[in-house]
């Protein structure tokens, strides 16, 4: 394919130009006037926090979403994609984080799926030949006859990439390709990417890992809150600058709530000593974390999602097994305590997934209030639950937490997000309360509900409880935390006492896995 035919913009050989892309969901702009370019033979990294709009932008490019506003030019021609099919026809291929392969089919069958010119009779040999040829050319070694479920994650990724090459994509979008790979696999992937670069492919590399971006990208664009905050050649960038761009410094100092509150030096309530926790796949997710959570204290945990926060929260609340290390509640060893025992001790948990974990959507308000206390004295009477007592308790909670519901016998799936969170908060903060583990407690809430939740957490702290606040919202963490820890790959990168807006750069670096001078936590070395 001669390059000349690809576009009219021959001086720069632009494969893609996106101008002023805007896309809103329910009034919230996920992309707001974003410009993005990709040249031939270029790796263009798209950097940003979760929710910064990277995936939305790429979904627009690959035809999954139609933009509300903006223009896409591919190979010099203005295009409108109605579906991913149109984008593939223009040579745009995306390799998702989850590869979207059919596990029971073989490699070649997966390749042939969705092929543009499938004939009635499939020529298996011809397809396999082409796969072999492509895989040799780009060092993507796979056997076309193996069923996909037998492949390792790294091999599956190779199949997903090969599939795009097979469909003659010349613009390849790799969505967080390294997040699932081992270091060796990452190295191989980078070799492949370099090969493809030499053959004039354009590659978009989505990531939030600075180190990898520096290694592979030619150009870097940083998104934050749906807007481009900067775009530069890699040699012009520094890790510090990028981290600051990703995390941002605006609007932090106004909402500081901790400064007016008394300095605390209470007695330890929850003490973790070098705890290790596995994820659902049996891999280490929390890798030796230690901390002390005291009375009258909010310990914030910052970090990009998927670095072990969820597993940590579940382990502390008794829902997940602690593989090694110790967990103490005051002086009591609670390493092996169940969720129920933790509740009885006053260790409460606000999970991030409200409808999936925190509540039973089809059950009513009262039944959901009972969820974490029905075995306790006023509610349990022998083999029976005293529902009158539960209803009474529910009604008073609905009143004092201003939960908007027509009644306590209404299924909670009918409540709004803010009211769902208020209900969870009401249930968890009532009764015996010593420690609250709150995971993304204001995620997706409106301003008013957010303020309500933060106020409740603060008042719990001021009343002598301890709060472990796990969040991805740095503004929130800075506003509420007395101590801030940063988690990366299951380890604490550092802790900052009384974090301020000035610390944001080092927090950003630690979130990206780069150790800094601050922090009393364990410093890890990156592989």
From candidates 33, 266, 411, 444, binder to another protein by CB under 8 A: 411
62 or 285: CB nearest another protein: 285
457 makes contact with another protein (CB under 8 A): no
Q: Is 339 in the site for another protein (CB under 8 A)?
A: yes
Counting residues that bind another protein (by CB under 8 A) gives 32
Residue 338 within binding range of another protein, rule CB under 8 A: yes
Other CB atoms closer than 10 Å to residue 104's CB: what's the count? 10
Task: State the Cα–Cα distance between residues 416 and 438, nearest whole angstrom.
Answer: 19
User: Which range of residues in 6-14, 123-131, 338-346, 415-423 is near another protein by CB under 8 A?
Assistant: 338-346
Query: Residue 38: is it exposed, middle or buried by C-beta count within 10 angstroms (0-12/13-18/19+)?
Result: buried
Cross-strand partners of 315: none
Q: Which is nearer to another protein, 371 or 451 (CB)?
A: 371
Closest CA to 513 of 53, 178, 280: 178
Least Cβ distance, residue 389 to another protein (angstroms): 12
HSE value, Cβ hemisphere, 13 Å, CA-based, for 184: 3
Q: Residue 433, interface with another protein (CB under 8 A)? A: no
241 is an interface residue for another protein by CB under 8 A: no
The burial class, CB within 10 Å (0-12 / 13-18 / 19+), for 232 is middle
CB 331, min distance to another protein, A: 23
**In the complex, least distance from residue 383 CB atom to another protein, rounded to whole angstroms:** 6
Nearer to another protein, 170 or 364 (CB): 364
CB of 100 to another protein, least distance (A): 24
The answer to whether 91 contacts another protein (rule: CB under 8 A) is no
DSSP state of 3: G
Q: Report the Cα 357 to chain-centroid distance in Å.
A: 17
| Interacting residues with another protein between 343 and 402 (CB under 8 A) | 343, 349, 351, 353, 356-363, 367, 370-372, 374-375, 380, 383-385, 387
Q: Is 126 in the site for another protein (CB under 8 A)?
A: no
Fill in the DSSP letter of residue 238: -
From the list 52, 489, 53, the residue with the least C-alpha distance to 303 is 489
Alpha-carbon span 226 to 34, nearest angstrom: 7
| Helix extents (H) in 239-364 | 239-247, 309-316, 339-345
Residue 190 found at the interface with another protein (CB under 8 A): no
Nearer to another protein, 173 or 350 (CB): 350
Q: How far is 58 from 38, CA to CA, in rounded Å?
A: 12
Nearest Cα neighbor of 21 from 58, 75, 64, 76 is 58
The 298-327 site mask, x for binding another protein (CB under 8 A), equals --------------------xx--------
Nearer to another protein, 118 or 371 (CB): 371
CB nearer to another protein: give 79 or 339.
339
d(CA 40, CA 444): 39
C-beta closer to another protein: residue 189 or 366 = 366
Alpha-carbon gap, residue 130 to 112, rounded angstroms: 11
Give 25 or 375: the residue with its C-beta nearer to another protein: 375
User: Which range, of 122-130, 341-349, 462-470, 517-525, touches another protein by CB under 8 A?
Assistant: 341-349
CA angle 157, 161, 163 (to 5 degrees): 115
Spatial CA neighbour of 159 closest among 143, 176, 137: 143
Q: Give residues in contact with another protein (CB under 8 A).
A: 318-319, 338-341, 343, 349, 351, 353, 356-363, 367, 370-372, 374-375, 380, 383-385, 387, 411, 413-414
């Amino acid at each position: 394919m001669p390059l000349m035919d690809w576009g009219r913009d021959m001086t720069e050989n632009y494969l893609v130009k996106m101008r002023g892309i805007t896309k809103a969901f329910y009034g919230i702009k996920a992309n707001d006037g974003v410009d993005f370019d990709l040249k031939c033979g270029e790796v263009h990294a798209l950097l940003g926090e979760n929710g910064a709009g990277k995936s939305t932008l790429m979904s627009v490019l690959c035809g999954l979403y139609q933009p509300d506003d903006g223009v896409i030019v591919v190979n010099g021609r203005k295009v409108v994609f109605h579906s991913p099919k149109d984008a593939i026809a223009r040579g745009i291929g995306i390799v998702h984080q989850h590869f979207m392969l059919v596990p029971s089919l073989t490699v070649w069958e997966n390749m042939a799926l969705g092929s543009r010119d499938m004939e009635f009779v499939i020529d298996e040999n011809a397809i396999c030949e082409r796969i072999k040829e492509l895989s040799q050319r780009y060092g993507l070694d796979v056997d076309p006859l193996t069923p996909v479920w037998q492949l390792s994650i790294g091999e599956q990724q190779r199949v997903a990439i090969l599939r795009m090459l097979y469909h003659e994509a010349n613009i390849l979008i790799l969505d967080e390709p390294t997040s699932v790979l081992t270091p060796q696999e990452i190295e191989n992937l980078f070799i492949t990417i370099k090969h493809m670069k030499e053959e004039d492919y354009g590659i978009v590399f989505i990531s939030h890992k600075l180190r990898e971006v520096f290694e592979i990208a030619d150009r870097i664009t940083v998104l934050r809150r749906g807007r481009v905050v900067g775009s530069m050649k890699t040699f012009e960038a520094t890790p510090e600058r990028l981290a600051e761009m990703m995390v941002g410094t605006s609007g932090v100092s106004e909402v500081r709530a901790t400064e007016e509150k008394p300095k605390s030096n209470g007695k330890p309530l929850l003490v973790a000593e070098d705890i290790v926790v596995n994820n659902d796949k049996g891999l280490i997710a929390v890798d030796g974390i230690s901390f002390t959570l005291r009375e009258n204290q909010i310990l914030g945990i910052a970090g990009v999602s998927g670095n072990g926060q969820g597993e940590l929260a579940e382990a502390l609340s008794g829902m997940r097994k602690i593989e090694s290390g110790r967990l103490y509640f005051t002086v009591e060893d609670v390493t092996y305590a169940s969720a129920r025992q933790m509740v009885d001790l006053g260790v409460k948990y606000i999970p991030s997934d409200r409808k999936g974990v925190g509540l039973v959507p089809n059950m009513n308000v009262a039944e959901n209030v009972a969820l974490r206390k029905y075995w306790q004295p006023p509610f349990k009477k022998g083999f029976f639950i005293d529902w009158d007592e539960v209803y009474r308790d529910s009604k008073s909670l609905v009143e004092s937490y201003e939960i908007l519901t027509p009644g306590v016998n209404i299924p909670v799936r009918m409540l709004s997000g803010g009211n769902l969170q208020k209900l969870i908060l009401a249930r968890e903060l009532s009764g015996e309360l010593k420690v609250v583990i709150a995971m993304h407690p204001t995620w997706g809430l409106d301003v008013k509900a957010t303020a309500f939740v933060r106020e409740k957490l603060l008042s719990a702290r001021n009343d002598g409880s301890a709060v472990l606040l796990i969040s991805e919202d740095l503004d929130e963490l800075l506003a509420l935390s007395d101590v801030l820890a940063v988690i990366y790959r299951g380890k604490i990168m550092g802790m900052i006492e009384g974090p301020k807006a000035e610390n944001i750069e080092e927090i950003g670096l630690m979130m990206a896995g780069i150790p800094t001078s601050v922090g009393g936590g364990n410093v890890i070395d990156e592989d």
